[in-house]
Structure 1
Amino acid sequence: MAIKRGVSLYSYQHETFTGKMTLEDCIRTSVAFGARGIEVIGEQTFWGWPEVGVADEKVAEWHSLIAKYNAVPVSHDFMLDYKRYKGREMPFDEQVASVKKDIDFGARLGMSYVRALVSIAPEVLVAAAPHAEEKGIKILIEVHAPLHFDHPWIIRHAEAFEKAGSDALGFLPDMGMFLFKFPPVWKARFIRNGVPQHIADYIVKAYEDRVLSEYVILNVREMGGSGPALGMAETLRHNAAYEPKRMLDYMHRIHHVHGKFYQMDEDLVEPCIPYDEIVRVLKQGNYNGYICSEYEGNRWIEDAQEVDSVEQVRRQQAMLTQLIDGPNPTAMAA
């Protein structure tokens, strides 16, 4: 089976917030690109979640739209910011209960997966796994930069998942951890925010040369950089160019992929994330789940130009179509 395409409605956050796109607009637009898989963040798509719940009529509207456009519910991305819960840290049992609540909501929406934030301890997810099994849902921890598949925290999750032996536990890699170049839209925004050109040029070059972030920050200070310049240098702490091939060792628990991107050029290329290599690795690992577009370039350009998330998603979907329909490396090797 081939890799499938979808869209996280988070990609349309700008248009959703400004009232330019309704839920129906988001689903219809995505399916028109051939991206039938639909992923949501509950707080964005359903007002009141999770504090006051979601009315049955809103869930019924969701299912009606899914059926109308022949879409496929894929994932409900939940939060659980347990460190800032009502001015205290949420106890273990409350964390598990909160995860179960999101599992139930995902089941109401017909989802196959719920996305767990990478900050959630593996013990919490293991404790919630039996409930997920009952609901026919998998809990996927998002492997998100600056973490990666060789990070001790992710290894701890992997070990806990294997020990638990539950098929309801897995991973959702975010392609932002494969940021091979510093995004031009980031650089342009930092310059507009006041970063001197020569410092911006240095940071971009240092990132491509894989200079240790602490040295870059120190050098920027010595260059007279402050405020926005240090902020730009700080981005190197939170991003890196990890190797897509590291996904292969975890493919048996990778069930969904976030197609993170910051900009798609007119020639259908994301200039900073190597999607050709990513798709090649996924094919090699016989991945047949969804890649859901996750556009996050809006926040880097909205001060200077009109955001057109729809066009950006269209371009990425066109790129993914070309890559997915291309040669299968496993078949070629055979």
Structure 2
Amino acid sequence: MIDAYTLDASATRHDDHGLIAWSIRLRLPWFRALPVSCIERAAVLVDGQAVADRDLLFRLDGQHRPLSDLHAMPTRYWSVDETLQIGVRGESLVPRAEAAVTVELTLRLPDSGGNGGDWSRRVACGAVRVSDPGHAPWPLGVCTFSLGAELRRGRSLRSCLQRIAAIGGYTGLELLGAQVVEGYPAPERRWLDRFARELHATGLEPVCYDAFLDPGRTTVAARDDAAIMALAEAELDIAAALGCSHVRLNVPPRRPLLDHLAVAAEQRDLTVLSELHAQTSADPGVEALLEHLNAMRSPHLGLILDLSCVMRALPPGFVRHMMAAGLPADAVRHIAESWSAGLPPPALPSATATAFAQRAYRLFHRSDTGWLPDVLPFTRIVHGKFFDMDGGREPSIPYGQVLTMLKRTRFDGYLMSEYEGHLWDGSPDTFAQLRGHQRMISELSNV
């Protein structure tokens, strides 16, 4: 007799023109005790019509794989928090919203029933109705910093922007000046005009221009306000020529300097935003900036909130990168445990390990989300930072909490996807990463 186990299931359509048109997420409490090869067969029916086996792909370790790949992994076991995700190819049967989906898994399990064998077969079943992915309540854009790996592979910027537009759902761009502007920091006006036309042709709005004060110009940092403003105004001119409405520009939080900056921004119909990156409202510099913004109430000044400020774990890809670089497992564990405990960077035996620890503490800020109400009233753009899309979620940042807070405070600015996993692993497809991030934002913001 075959026993039937109940699968906890959910199914979602993905309207992003990617490889996967829709997917099913499944849980069984005892998956964690089994190898992934325990799934002998999967059957999926939509309103009673079977989906072809060849169109079913199983997501594992960030990749979609045919079932035969799982059969070849006898030593790979389900982890405690792992969810089985079955993706269905875009060219297959795409269900309507609210269609009835039935899933049946034939499983090869250890026999604990005294049937005389080591293994037995069981069938686990689940039924669910398909939900639409919904849409995020904010306009979505992409930071061009996300494109680092694609540009290093030789893909042109124009091609990258066309691919972003083809994803659908993204309407804006944040342009990193030193990355995308030819002749930076003093581009020719003719080039700026041509690039502005190319941006317009993509259908994507140039929302924000990321400016710099010193890099690319001088090895000596500008100290006095007059020197800072001379550099800042040159950057504001580039942003205005490209048709941007916002400029990311971090300056010292001095009131006279901010007054001058607000006037220069108003003259060009721009809003200048200071970015909070690996900082919180308790940082002395941020405290001073918030005091000035609150006193000035200028519509031409504000903040960019980068979600590296509220990380709960080191990115798994960065941890793998440390291991691949040859750091001993004890050193990697010491760095991760010290960071997670909120302790200072640990003392380590080698210069290489020390450098990795310093990088981890510089890039990733461990914090909860309790301080965000201090800065959200001044926030115009949120950097949706992400490093790894694992099973459709970013494991290092509490996106559910952040998005709930954005809705509660009626945030109405852009949420910019900013993929940074390419800093240590250039192999993933950037555009697949962006599709996954956009899908996660849509799903979590419609919970």
Quick one: structure 1 residues 122 and 144, their matched pair in 2 at CA, closer, same or farther if it must change by over 3 Å? farther
CA RMSD of superposed structures (Å): 2.2
Does 2:183 align with 1:48? yes
CA shift digits 1:257-311 (9 cap, x unpaired): 111111112x211111111111111111101111111111112124xxx242222
CA shift digits 1:203-251 (9 cap, x unpaired): 223333x24124xx13xx3xxx312222233245333322334222332
Give the SS at the match of 2:383: strand
Matches within 5 A, 1:169-208: 169-208=301-340
| Structure 2: distance between partners of 1:164 and 1:82 | 29
Residue from 10, 13, 27 that aligns with 2:161: 27
| Structure 2: distance between partners of 1:66 and 1:46 | 12
| Structure 1: distance between partners of 2:425 and 2:182 | 26
| Structure 1: distance between partners of 2:178 and 2:225 | 23
Q: TM-score, normalised by structure 1?
A: 0.85
| Structure 2: distance between partners of 1:83 and 1:12 | 20
The answer to whether the Cα contact below 8 Å between 2:144 and 2:174 also exists between their aligned partners in 1 is yes
The answer to whether the Cα contact below 8 Å between 1:261 and 1:297 also exists between their aligned partners in 2 is yes
| Structure 2: distance between partners of 1:148 and 1:81 | 24
> Match for residue 332 of structure 1?
none
> Match for residue 97 of structure 1?
230
How far off its partner does 1:82 sit?
A: 7.6
Please say which of residues 76-85 and 39-48 is displaced more in the overlay: 76-85
Give the SS at the match of 1:148: coil
Quick one: structure 1 residues 252 and 87, their matched pair in 2 at CA, closer, same or farther if it must change by over 3 Å? closer
Does 2:273 align with 1:128? no
Residue from 258, 261, 270 that aligns with 2:394: 270
Give the SS at the match of 1:7: strand
The answer to whether the Cα contact below 8 Å between 1:255 and 1:289 also exists between their aligned partners in 2 is yes
| Structure 2: distance between partners of 1:185 and 1:89 | 36
Quick one: structure 1 residues 106 and 91, their matched pair in 2 at CA, closer, same or farther if it must change by over 3 Å? same
Q: TM-score, normalised by structure 2?
A: 0.65
| Structure 2: distance between partners of 1:48 and 1:178 | 35
Does 2:322 align with 1:322? no
Does 2:422 align with 1:298? yes
> Match for residue 251 of structure 1?
376
| Structure 1: distance between partners of 2:159 and 2:375 | 35
Residue from 122, 147, 165 that aligns with 1:12: 147
CA shift digits 1:68-121 (9 cap, x unpaired): 23211110000112898354645320211211221121111111110013x644
Divergent runs of 4+, >6 A? none
CA shift digits 1:117-153 (9 cap, x unpaired): 3x644443332111101211111000011x2122110
Relative to its length, the structure with more helix (as a share) is: 1
For 1:161, the aligned partner's letter is L
User: Which sections of structure 1, spanning at least 5 residues, go unmatched?
Assistant: 328-334
Quick one: structure 1 residues 12 and 285, their matched pair in 2 at CA, closer, same or farther if it must change by over 3 Å? same
**Per chain length, whose mean CA-contact separation is higher, i.e. which structure has more relative contact order (CA < 8 Å, sep 6+)?**
1
How far off its partner does 1:32 sit?
A: 2.3
Quick one: structure 1 residues 82 and 45, their matched pair in 2 at CA, closer, same or farther if it must change by over 3 Å? closer
The answer to whether the Cα contact below 8 Å between 2:222 and 2:228 also exists between their aligned partners in 1 is no
Relative to its length, the structure with more strand (as a share) is: 2
| Structure 2: distance between partners of 1:36 and 1:83 | 30
User: Which sections of structure 2, spanning at least 5 residues, go unmatched?
Assistant: 1-135
For 1:308, the aligned partner's letter is D
Quick one: structure 1 residues 260 and 54, their matched pair in 2 at CA, closer, same or farther if it must change by over 3 Å? farther
Please say which of residues 230-239 and 163-172 is displaced more in the overlay: 230-239
Does 2:362 align with 1:228? no
| Structure 1: distance between partners of 2:393 and 2:388 | 8
Give the SS at the match of 1:291: strand
Residue from 46, 67, 75 that aligns with 2:200: 67
| Structure 2: distance between partners of 1:55 and 1:108 | 8
Identity of matched residues, %? 26
How far off its partner does 1:163 sit?
A: 2.8
The answer to whether the Cα contact below 8 Å between 2:193 and 2:241 also exists between their aligned partners in 1 is no
The answer to whether the Cα contact below 8 Å between 1:6 and 1:30 also exists between their aligned partners in 2 is no
For 2:210, the aligned partner's letter is D
Give the SS at the match of 2:393: coil
> Match for residue 155 of structure 1?
287
Quick one: structure 1 residues 84 and 166, their matched pair in 2 at CA, closer, same or farther if it must change by over 3 Å? same
How far off its partner does 1:13 sit?
A: 1.7
The answer to whether the Cα contact below 8 Å between 1:107 and 1:135 also exists between their aligned partners in 2 is yes
| Structure 1: distance between partners of 2:312 and 2:440 | 18
| Structure 2: distance between partners of 1:80 and 1:202 | 36
Does 2:409 align with 1:285? yes
| Structure 2: distance between partners of 1:153 and 1:207 | 22
Instruction: Flag the structure with larger Rg.
Output: 2
Give the SS at the match of 1:283: helix
| Structure 2: distance between partners of 1:160 and 1:87 | 27
What is the number of equivalent residue pairs in this alignment?
309
